Amino acid sequence: MADPVLATHGISKSFGALKASDDVSIDLRPGEIHAIIGPNGAGKSTLIAQICGTLMPDAGSVHLLGRDVTQQSTRARAKAGLGRTFQISALAMQDTVLQNAVLGALGASGRPWRFLSPALEDADLRARAEAALERVGLQDHAATRTAELSHGQRRQLEVAVALTLEPSVFVMDEPMAGLGSEGSKRLTGFLDELRHEAPILLVEHDMDAVFTLADRISVLVYGKVIASGSIDEIQSDRQVREAYLGE
Ligand code: ADP
Ligand code: MG
């Protein structure tokens, strides 16, 4: 089997007495979508935060493209090829769609921070931003103020911002949240294509999307991976059915 592009080895994280991550080891292989499911409060976002570097694990390590990045900053991990989308939107609502995408491209370029207006004049950054918008189908909304987008369009824009980085690995925290069935279907189709460019660690509550996309599923409950396997294996796992599928 190919080497994992992303892996956690026994990471743990406590908030006071609460163990939000309890010895979590998961990995992601080339071309794959690995879905992480689990009830609210199971520690999915906490796991993502440690992978991306916004939270430091108390124990264990994070490996990206074969390198130990546990001590590296979020920015260094992004530069190394880790793209992400957030459960809670990080978009600048007063800026236009294009401005948000250019900001993403500017961050991804690794150039020293400048104001947005010179960045908008930069042909290279603009081209990157426009290409990303086109890929998610927002090219006709470049001049729209982000606050005026529908919820579904904002989620598309978040993916576009992450794409400006041209990541080699993707981590997504509930990208389908709040999308209607039409929006979920569109994003599901897009992620199905995207996996060939960048494998995806996908935290998702939308089980239709998970069962359509996932090559593997891991189930988190109270910070622990209680099961990991194919869709069939997870659906027939008694512990999972009891703990999560509510049977
Ligand atoms: P999920 O994404 O699976 O819903 P989270 O990772 O957001 O779960 O949260 C896991 C647990 O850790 C929850 O009980 C949550 O309240 C707690 N938690 C998350 N972040 C913090 C924090 N910064 N401080 C204290 N508790 C936190
Ligand atoms: Mg969460």
Q: Which ligand is nearest to the CA of 50?
A: 1
Q: Whose CA is nearest to atom 24 of ligand 1?
A: 15
Which CATH fold would you assign to the domain 1-81+168-247?
Rossmann fold (3.40.50)
User: How high is the pLDDT of residue 89?
Assistant: 67
Structure tokens at 179: 């999308």
197 CA → ligand 2 middle, Å: 25
Q: Which ligand is nearest to the CA of 221?
A: 1
- In the chain, pLDDT over 90 holds for what percent of residues? 60
Instruction: Reply yes or no on whether the pLDDT at 163 is more than 60.
Output: yes
Which of 36, 45, 46 has the most ligand 1 atoms within 8 A of CB, as the residue to mutate? 46
User: How high is the pLDDT of residue 103?
Assistant: 85
Residues of the chain with CATH 3.40.50.300: 1-81+168-247
188 CA → ligand 1 middle, Å: 26
41 CA → ligand 2 middle, Å: 7
Band (165; pLDDT cuts 50, 70, 90): confident
Cα torsion 65, 68, 74, 78 to 10°: value is -20
Q: Whose CA is nearest to atom 26 of ligand 1?
A: 15
Name every protein residue with a CB atom under 6 angstroms from any ligand 1 atom: 15, 18, 20, 38, 40-46
pLDDT in tens, 13-65: 999 999 999 999 999 999 999 999 999 999 999 999 999 999 999 999 999 99
Q: Taking all residues of the chain, what is their mean pLDDT, rounded to a whole number?
A: 90
Give the end-to-end CA distance of the chain in Å, rounded to a whole number.
34
User: How high is the pLDDT of residue 237?
Assistant: 87
What kind and span of H or E run contains 181?
helix 181-194
| Beta-bridge partner residues of 61 | 9
H helices of 37-150, in order, are: 44-52, 74-79, 97-109, 116-121, 123-136
Band (197; pLDDT cuts 50, 70, 90): confident
pLDDT in tens, 75-110: 899 889 999 876 666 788 889 999 999 888 887 676
Instruction: Reply yes or no on whether the pLDDT at 206 is more than 80.
Output: yes
Query: By mean pLDDT, which of 42-51, 65-74, 160-169, 220-229 is the weakest?
Result: 160-169
Instruction: Reply yes or no on whether the pLDDT at 115 is more than 80.
Output: no
pLDDT in tens, 67-77: 999 999 988 99
Query: By mean pLDDT, which of 3-12, 110-119, 128-137, 139-148 is the weakest?
Result: 110-119
Can you tell me which atom of ligand 1 is nearest the CA of 40?
4
Band (136; pLDDT cuts 50, 70, 90): confident
What kind and span of H or E run contains 65?
none
